Amino acid sequence: QVQLVESGGGLVQAGDSLRLSCAASGGTISTYTMGWSRQAPGKEREFVAAITWSGTTTRYADSVKGRFTISRDNAKNTVYLQMNSLKPEDTAVYYCAADARGFSIEYYSAVYAYNYWGQGTQVTVSS
């Protein structure tokens, strides 16, 4: 069973960049689909990005496409979310997630698809 720990969140200004990291322990994520989701106060959790085990297939929510990039380094057992051109509406707790069942990438473009979740890291973007 895999444990996930997010890091890299913080307070930034609109237009700035952040890179979030998700470190896995207790097992390798080399064969896992990985994803990022976020939840703002008073709102439902929403899908942000997903990446297959090989890193060759990715999916993004329309709200972040062109600004965010998901990547992974299986040798380091880590997945990343590079966030550029941040906007105040990006303010949320960002959660890393993983799943080993190997369904289609479309299935993982939903927050309910993942078996394992981290505790989240806060990203706050000021205007």
pLDDT tens digits, the chain, 127 residues: what are they?
Answer: 899 999 999 999 999 999 999 999 998 888 999 999 999 999 999 999 999 988 889 999 999 999 999 999 999 999 999 999 999 999 999 999 999 999 999 999 999 999 999 999 999 999 9
Q: How many helices (H) and strands (E) does the chain have?
A: 0, 11
Q: Which residues contact 69 (CB under 8 A, 6 or more apart)?
A: 49, 81, 82, 84
- Tell me if 50 sits within 8 A of 112, measured CB to CB: no
pLDDT of residue 72: 96
Sign of the alpha-carbon torsion through 103, 107, 112, 114: positive
Partners of 39 in the β-ladder:
93
pLDDT of residue 82: 98
